[in-house]
């Protein structure tokens, strides 16, 4: 017993150091797995509140460019609306408009209050949380394209795993054909992502548009991602293609968070069919 | 008493400086100074190291909270806080009796320079290796360590120079 006490006496600093390092390591490893980090993230009340007030101070700088973006998006949406109303319903046949009684997605607007894009594992903090119905695993987009997936939310704030995160995997497809692959990021350039596992027979050209595939319960179909910028010739195992993103991830303002209303139903169905 | 207040002030000053100012610098798109390592240089040397280790861990953890990095800052700051004593003994040749009188201001610039450069580079190496978390792109990590260390040290020496003048 005395030996043991002497041992602790002698190595108390080292043991204390090891103890704290272990805590730090656990937090680091937890942070790397998707929505595991409940404790250390910027979506809690204190850090979220401080980031919100600091972004309130700096948001005036971007008002002009933000206005231009919004008016462009308005114009695009008005065009879609016009197209829909221009189609006269055929009166002598039964019209089934699935939109009218069945809504699949809801959109919530939010503001980015903290954004990182230079690290290997990047996260974004937005100013909506559980109080506004935001939970984990929801899609985050803006008018130009995809941004990420929500990861962890507190009452008023949510942390988003950016597509610029080495853990990020998103189902994506070619716009002109239905060949799909998965979109990831290798951690080098903040405006280039990688599309892998595209079938070899898929016709790929530089400049082709990539959009979300709709084969997950998170992203709706057809949200823009980017264009092909480099095709690797030769036989690589995963047939990787470089994608230039439409979004400038270093300059983001307002976003939409998409909630899939059928997610629960689809998930239970998938669990049952797996058994 | 006023020393404790000074330390608390230093703790929060470095925390907010790092989180709200320095993390947004991104010189050339990716180079950031990590000036909060100054906490380890400026914390007075004492016989009992438990509080010092704990506060260093806490400062790193708070920065992690803001920058969504798990426990990387805490890990790297705590590492240099622990090995600080070894380098003080190595560069300044101090024994336990000298601890209360130890002050970086009264040491020669050459020794202080060696000491801060060593600790900063060790800190940055640990931090960037963990932030990268694989051996992929390791050349980028080393470049980052080099440039960020230069930036951090420039900032630290400028800062200490300004504050020393005012006293």
Tens of pLDDT along B20-66?
A: 888 888 888 778 899 999 999 989 888 888 999 999 999 999 999 88
| Closest residue by Cα to residue B76 from B49, B57, B102 | B57
Query: Do the chains contact at B74 and A24, CB–CB below 8 Å?
Result: yes
pLDDT for A201 equals 83
Question: Which pLDDT score is estimated for A86?
Answer: 59
pLDDT for B141 beyond 80: yes
Return the higher-pLDDT residue of A84 and A137: A137
pLDDT higher than 80, residue A156: yes
Mutate to test the interface with A, among B68, B138, B139, B151 (most CBs of A within 10 A): B68
Of A20, A116, A121, the CB nearest to B78: A20
Kindly report, residue by residue over A48-105, the tens digit of the pLDDT: 888 888 888 877 777 888 888 888 888 888 877 777 665 555 555 555 555 555 567 8
| Structure confidence by residue, pLDDT tens digits, A7-36 | 888 888 999 999 999 999 988 888 877 666
Q: Could B71 and A26 be called an inter-chain contact, meaning their C-beta atoms sit closer than 8 Å?
A: yes
**How many residue pairs from chains A and B have C-beta atoms closer than 8 A?**
100
pLDDT at A21 (0 to 100) = 93
Residues 111-130 of A with CB under 8 A from B: 114, 116, 118-121, 123, 125
| Surface of A (216-275) touching B: CB under 8 A | none
Q: Which residues pair with A230 in a beta bridge?
A: A242
A159 touches chain B (CB under 8 A): yes
Overall average pLDDT of the A237-266 stretch: 86
Domain ranges for chain B? 2-165
The pLDDT of residue A234 is 67
Instruction: Compare CB distances from A21 to B69, B75, B140 and report the shortest one's residue.
Output: B75
- pLDDT beyond 70 at A108: yes
Q: Testing the interface with A: which of B33, B50, B62, B71 to mutate, by most A Cβ within 10 A?
A: B71
For the residues of A141-210, what is the DSSP string, one character each? Answer: E-SSSEEEEEEEE-SS-EEEEEEEETT--EEEEESSS--EEEEE--SS-TTEEEEE---TTS---TT-EE
CA gap A227, A211 in Å, rounded: 9
**Residue B76 half-sphere exposure toward CB, CA atoms < 13 A:** 24
Q: Write out the two tokens for A105.
A: 């997605």
Confidence of residue B83 (pLDDT cuts 50, 70, 90): very high
The set of residues, in sequence order, having a beta carbon less than 8 Å from that of B94 and lying 6+ positions away, is B45, B88, B102
d(CA A265, CA B84): 57
Å from A237 to nearest chain B CA? 18
pTM given for the model = 0.81
Q: How confident is the model at residue B165 (pLDDT cuts 50, 70, 90)?
A: low
Q: How many CB atoms lie within 10 A of CB A103?
A: 10
Chain A residues closer than 8 Å to B136 by CB: 186-187
**If interface means Cβ-Cβ distance under 8 Å, which residues of chain B face chain A?**
20, 26, 29-30, 32, 49-50, 53-54, 57, 60-61, 64-72, 74-75, 78-79, 82, 130-134, 136-137, 140
Q: Which residues in chain A are closer than 8 Å to B54, comparing Cβ atoms? A: 16, 20
Q: Is A131 on the interface with B (CB under 8 A)?
A: no
Lowest-confidence range among A89-93, A245-249, B76-80, B83-87?
Answer: A89-93
Q: Angle at CA B99, nearest 5°, toward B96 and B101?
A: 140
Residue among A161, A181, A160, A179 at smallest CA distance from A170? A181
pLDDT (0 to 100) of residue A35: 60
């Amino acid at each position: 017993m005395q030996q043991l006490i002497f041992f602790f006496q002698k190595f108390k600093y080292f043991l204390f150091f090891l103890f704290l390092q272990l805590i730090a390591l656990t937090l680091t490893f937890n942070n790397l797995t998707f929505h595991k980090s409940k404790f250390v993230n910027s979506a809690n009340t204190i850090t979220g509140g401080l980031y919100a007030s600091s972004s309130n101070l700096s948001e005036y700088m971007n008002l002009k460019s933000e206005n231009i973006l919004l008016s462009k998006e308005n114009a695009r949406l008005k065009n879609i609306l016009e197209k829909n109303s221009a189609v006269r319903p055929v009166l002598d046949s039964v019209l089934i408009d699935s939109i009218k009684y069945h809504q699949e997605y809801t959109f919530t607007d939010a503001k980015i209050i903290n954004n990182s894009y230079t690290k290997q594992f990047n996260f974004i903090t937005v100013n909506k949380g559980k109080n506004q119905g935001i939970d984990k695993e929801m899609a985050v987009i803006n008018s130009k394209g995809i941004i990420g997936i929500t990861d962890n939310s507190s009452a008023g704030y949510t942390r988003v795993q950016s597509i610029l995160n080495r853990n990020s995997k998103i189902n994506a497809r070619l716009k002109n054909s239905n060949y799909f692959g998965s979109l990831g990021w290798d951690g080098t350039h903040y405006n280039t992502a990688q599309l892998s596992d595209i079938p070899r027979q898929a016709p790929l050209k530089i400049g082709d548009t990539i959009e979300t595939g709709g084969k997950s319960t998170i992203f709706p179909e057809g949200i823009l991602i980017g264009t092909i910028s480099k095709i690797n010739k030769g036989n690589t195992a995963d047939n990787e293609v470089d994608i230039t993103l439409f979004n400038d991830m270093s300059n983001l303002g307002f976003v939409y968070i998409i909630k899939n209303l059928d997610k629960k139903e689809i998930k239970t169905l998938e669990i049952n069919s797996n058994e | 008493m006023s020393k404790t207040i000074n330390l608390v002030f230093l703790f929060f000053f470095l925390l907010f400086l790092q989180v709200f100012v320095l993390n947004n610098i991104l010189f050339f798109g990716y180079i950031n100074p990590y000036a909060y390592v100054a906490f380890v240089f400026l914390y007075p040397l004492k016989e009992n190291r438990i509080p010092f280790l704990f506060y260093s861990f806490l400062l790193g953890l708070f920065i992690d909270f803001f920058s969504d990095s798990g426990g990387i800052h805490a890990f790297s700051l705590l590492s240099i806080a622990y090995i600080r004593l070894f380098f003080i003994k190595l560069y300044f040749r101090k024994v336990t009796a000298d601890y209360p009188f130890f002050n970086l201001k009264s040491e020669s610039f050459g020794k202080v320079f060696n000491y801060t450069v060593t600790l900063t580079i060790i800190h940055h190496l640990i931090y960037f290796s963990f932030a990268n978390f694989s051996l992929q792109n390791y050349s980028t990590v080393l470049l980052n360590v080099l440039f960020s260390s230069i930036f951090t040290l420039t900032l630290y020496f400028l800062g200490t120079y300004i504050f020393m003048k005012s006293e």
